[in-house]
Amino acid sequence: MGERIESEGHYEMLYDCEHCGTKRLLAKSQRHCAECGAPQNPDKRYFPAEGEAQRVDGHQYEGADRHCPSCNTPQGAKGKNCTQCGAALDGAREVKGVVAAPPPPKKRRRQWIVLAVVAGIALLVFGIWFAFFRTKAAELVISSHRWERAIGVEEYGEKHDDAWRDQLPEDARDVTCQQKKRSTRKVETGEEDCHTERHDKKDGTYEQIKKCTPIYREEAVEDDWCRYTVRQWRALDPIKITGGGRSPAWPTEGLPPPQSPPVLGMRRQGKRTETFMLDIAGQSCEVPAATWNKYSDGQKVKVEVRASSGKIVCDSL
């Protein structure tokens, strides 16, 4: 359910006579000042204060007032000639109407404060770059090659897990469920949050509008939270081998067969991974295989190092 809009009727706008100063004249029923007879200025109408509003019963809105092009007297939307001077109203301009007051202008900060803030930020950025990111070129010697290779091991067995009923795997076994809060939904309380607005109709009246939105409360949505067992391949600790030099090897001892049937307790080989390291001037860089193979022990290489710490930027190899 969306916003509910209800009209609470039409009320008189007010104006002050610009000729004799009479205050709070009725803009709809007093087109001329009750004291001096001067015509009202419709562009100076305003909303009444709280408790001063006068309802216009049976009001039929016909459109916004227009200024007479000859004497500037406000005229109704359907009029053809001015009731004050008789001039034709063809092309007469619409009155302005009351609009919301603009927000107060923001105080201008002094220029030197703005410049100081900008300079401070720039100095901070430069300091961070200088301390942590600035690099310089260096020529260093590769002292050694190292590597590590691993073969994963998987075992077929039972796994216990939890999930919502609609997320259970097809081969789930020994399923037991209980109700549990899964989400929430909004439910109307039957109450509303309302406020009123005043809309200038530009014909000497304003319409008071009541706008209401429903008030909601959160209600728990429950579902089946299930404990289940499933049989699947699960990863164990991989079998690794490490070494130095440029001839890496794969582990061969303690490996299960590459393939095994899905029988409880059976094991098989899993994913193979490898890591390559270059030792340079007491530091180590993990690099791709192509980079690792490109260099030899004792070879000089040009790299980027952090100017502040001397740490090698490994991506520059």
Domain boundary among 103, 137, 162: 103
Answer yes or no: do 208 and 266 share one domain.
Answer: yes
310 in the same domain as 231: yes
Q: CB–CB of 256/267 below 8 Å?
A: yes
Would the pLDDT of 301 be above 50? yes
CB atoms within 10 A of CB 241: 15
Within a domain: 299:
yes
Q: Is 72 in the same domain as 159?
A: no
Residue 14's alpha-carbon distances to 10, 21, 196, 198, in angstroms, are 13, 13, 19, 13
pLDDT of 84-101, one tens digit each?
777 787 777 888 888 644
pLDDT at position 123 = 85
Which domain range does residue 289 map to?
A: 146-316
Domain end marker among 70, 103, 136: 103
Residues 47 and 182 in one domain: no
> Is residue 42 situated within a structural domain?
yes
Bridging pattern class, strands 205-244 and 267-280: unpaired
Higher pLDDT, 254 or 70: 254
Question: In the 3-class helix/strand/coil scheme, how is 37-102 assigned residue by residue?
Answer: CCECCHHHCECCCCCCCCECCCCCCCCCCEECCCCCCEECCCCCECCCCCCECCCCCECCCCCCCC
Shortest CA distance to 287 belongs to which of 297, 299, 274, 296? 274
215 with 163, same domain?
yes
Q: Is 295 exposed, middle or buried (0-12, 13-18, 19+ CB in 10 A)?
A: middle
User: Domain check: are 82 and 170 in the same one?
Assistant: no
Q: Which of 44, 76, 103 is the last residue of a domain?
A: 103
State the pLDDT at residue 103.
46
Q: Considering the domain boundaries, does residue 109 fall inside one?
A: no
Q: How far is CA 176 from CA 59, 163, 228, 231, in A?
A: 69, 11, 7, 16
Residue 118 lies in a domain: no
* Same domain assignment for residues 50 and 171: no
- The reply to whether 199 falls in a domain is yes
Instruction: For residue 4, list its beta bridge partners.
Output: 212
Residue 83 resides in a domain: yes
Same domain, 91 and 155: no
The confidence score (pLDDT) of residue 309 equals: 85
Q: Is 120 exposed, middle or buried (0-12, 13-18, 19+ CB in 10 A)?
A: exposed
Residue 192 is predicted with a pLDDT of: 94
Mean pLDDT, residues 69-98 taken together: 78
Structural domains in the chain (count): 2
Write out pLDDT tens, residues 184-194: 999 999 999 99
Residue 86 lies in a domain: yes
Q: Is 133 among the domain residues?
A: no
